[in-house]
């Protein structure tokens, strides 16, 4: 991970240095050309004036016009530099986002008549396109209606598990099964429509609360939105707003606290009534009261749903039905909180070390 970060920093530095060199070369060149042209014109104007062919007022007007023209030429250096930056950004967007290949068989596929919610990772391994190994022979089962907490230090592979479940990538080895069916045989759009996702970093768009919730299900009725807000424990603050769910928010959810934004995001995930929930715990940055409200909302959301959540607080992980301890892309321990504490293994050591603290 450090070598990857260092490589990205070096690439960014190289791009900035190259842009600075282009600017340092082009701007003085433009200034020199402008100065040479001005000196030449002044010389000829002086010669014409000396011979009585040009009046002093005409020279002044000409020089003023030339100064205006010269300002335009001087701005070319800035325009060229801006263009090079825009071109570099465009190249990165195409190379790193638009040109990233979709997962194999990213269209079409089966649609299950009914979802129980049993999830199984069977000997799953994964390497990113650049060759970085993220998961190695990971296996676990989440029974319908139960929860599994993924625990481990940064870079352990927790987020990769979530990405694979949503089919942003496909495993390089092994299988991921939903109710006994390999998810590579399922229609990706259908699969994602039946998995509710609550990300760690919540973003709300400028618009009403109802419009933000409806992003989870485009055809959601007002009644469905109201039910989702109730399940997310958001009605307690939404009901105090002048226009209730139709109250307008600023960009990023401006006007709401962190805990309130998180509960709107939970409602957005619940409005489609998903059989499976994928949660990236986001309570670590909240105050105690907001954390309590969000935790209650998450507990309500998880009830009777199969839930996979990435835990950043070990005290939160302890509430899950089962816990999977990960390290360097491998599953090193699995069990309930009491079982893992009694085993006195890596999880117990981590729990005692952080004792309710936050895992980065």
**Domain encompassing residue 32:** 2-98
**CA–CA separation, 138 vs 157, rounded Å?**
10
Looking at the fold, whether 212 and 256 belong to one and the same domain comes out as yes
**CA–CA separation, 309 vs 61, rounded Å?**
74
- Tell me, yes or no, if the pTM score tops 0.85: no
Looking at the fold, whether 254 and 219 belong to one and the same domain comes out as yes
pLDDT above 90 as % of the chain: 18
In a domain, 118, yes or no: yes
In a domain, 107, yes or no: no
C-alpha 328 chain-centroid distance: 22
pLDDT at 73: 64
C-alpha 46 chain-centroid distance: 65
**99 burial type by CB count under 10 A (0-12 exposed, 13-18 middle, 19+ buried):** exposed
| Whole-angstrom Cα Rg for the chain | 30
291 and 315 Cβ atoms separated by less than 8 Å: no
The model's confidence at residue 93, banded by pLDDT at 50, 70 and 90, is low
In a domain, 325, yes or no: yes
In a domain, 240, yes or no: yes
Q: Is 141 a residue whose pLDDT tops 50? A: yes
Higher pLDDT, 255 or 211: 211
pLDDT digits (tens, 9 = 90+) for 158-193: 889 999 999 988 999 999 999 999 999 998 888 888
pLDDT at 4: 46
In a domain, 24, yes or no: yes
What is the residue whose two structure tokens read 């399940």?
Answer: 231
pLDDT at 154: 81
Domain boundary among 98, 127, 150: 98
Question: Which of 113-127, 133-147, 227-241, 292-306 comes out lowest in average pLDDT?
Answer: 292-306
What is the residue whose two structure tokens read 């959301």?
Answer: 301
In a domain, 37, yes or no: yes
In a domain, 106, yes or no: no
Question: Which of 38-52, 67-81, 263-277 comes out lowest in average pLDDT?
Answer: 67-81
pLDDT at 2: 45
Looking at the fold, whether 16 and 121 belong to one and the same domain comes out as no
Please state, rounded to an integer, the average pLDDT across all residues of the chain. Answer: 80
Looking at the fold, whether 80 and 161 belong to one and the same domain comes out as no
- The tokens describing 177, both together, are 């099964």
DSSP SS3 for 334: strand
CATH of residue 358's domain is 3.40.50.300
Looking at the fold, whether 183 and 313 belong to one and the same domain comes out as yes
pLDDT at 357: 47
pLDDT digits (tens, 9 = 90+) for 5-36: 555 566 667 767 776 777 677 667 777 777 78
DSSP SS3 for 274: coil
DSSP 111-124: --S-----EEEEEE
Q: What angle do CA 255, 260, 265 make, to 5 degrees?
A: 110
124 and 173 Cβ atoms separated by less than 8 Å: yes
Highest mean pLDDT among 89-93, 252-256, 298-302, 318-322: 318-322
Question: Which of 84-88, 121-125, 221-225, 257-261 comes out lowest in average pLDDT?
Answer: 84-88
Q: Is 266 a residue whose pLDDT tops 90? A: no
Task: Tell me the residue ranges of DSSP E strands in the chain.
Answer: 119-127, 133-142, 147-151, 173-178, 181-182, 195-198, 207-208, 248-249, 276-280, 306-310, 322-327, 330-335
Domain boundary among 272, 290, 308: 272
Highest mean pLDDT among 52-66, 110-124, 253-267, 295-309: 110-124
pLDDT at 21: 75
H-only helix segments in 94-172: 158-165
């Amino acid at each position: 991970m450090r070598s990857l970060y260092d490589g990205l920093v070096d690439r960014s530095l190289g791009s900035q240095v190259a842009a600075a060199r282009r600017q340092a070369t082009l701007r003085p060149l433009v200034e020199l050309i402008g100065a040479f042209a001005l000196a030449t014109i002044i010389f000829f104007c002086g010669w014409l004036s000396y011979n009585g062919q040009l009046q002093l007022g005409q020279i002044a007007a000409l020089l003023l016009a030339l100064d205006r023209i010269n300002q335009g030429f001087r701005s070319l250096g800035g325009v060229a530099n801006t263009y090079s930056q825009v071109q570099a950004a465009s190249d990165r967007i195409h190379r790193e986002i638009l040109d990233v290949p979709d997962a194999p068989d990213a269209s079409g596929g089966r649609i299950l008549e009914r979802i129980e919610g049993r999830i199984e990772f069977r000997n799953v391994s994964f390497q990113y396109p650049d060759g970085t190994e993220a998961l190695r022979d990971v296996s676990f089962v989440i029974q319908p209606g139960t929860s599994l907490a993924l625990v481990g230090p940064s870079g352990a592979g927790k987020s990769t598990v979530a990405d694979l479940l949503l089919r942003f990538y496909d495993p390089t080895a092994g299988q991921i099964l939903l109710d006994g069916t390999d998810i590579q045989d399922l229609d990706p759009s259908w699969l994602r429509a039946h998995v509710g996702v609550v990300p760690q970093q919540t973003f709300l768009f400028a618009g009403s609360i109802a419009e933000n919730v409806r992003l989870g299900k485009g055809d959601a009725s007002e009644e469905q939105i109201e039910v989702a807000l109730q399940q997310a424990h958001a009605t307690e603050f939404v009901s105090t707003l002048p226009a209730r769910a139709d109250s307008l928010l600023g960009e990023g959810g401006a006007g709401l606290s962190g805990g309130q934004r998180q509960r709107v995001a939970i409602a957005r995930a619940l409005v489609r009534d998903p059989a499976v929930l994928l949660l990236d715990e986001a309570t670590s940055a909240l105050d105690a009261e907001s954390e309590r409200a969000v935790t209650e909302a998450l507990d309500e959301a998880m009830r009777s749903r199969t839930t996979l959540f990435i835990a950043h607080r070990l005290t939160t992980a302890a509430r899950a039905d089962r816990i999977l301890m990960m390290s360097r892309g491998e599953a090193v321990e699995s069990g309930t909180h009491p079982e893992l504490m009694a085993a006195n293994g890596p999880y117990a050591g981590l729990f005692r070390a952080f004792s309710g603290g936050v895992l980065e």
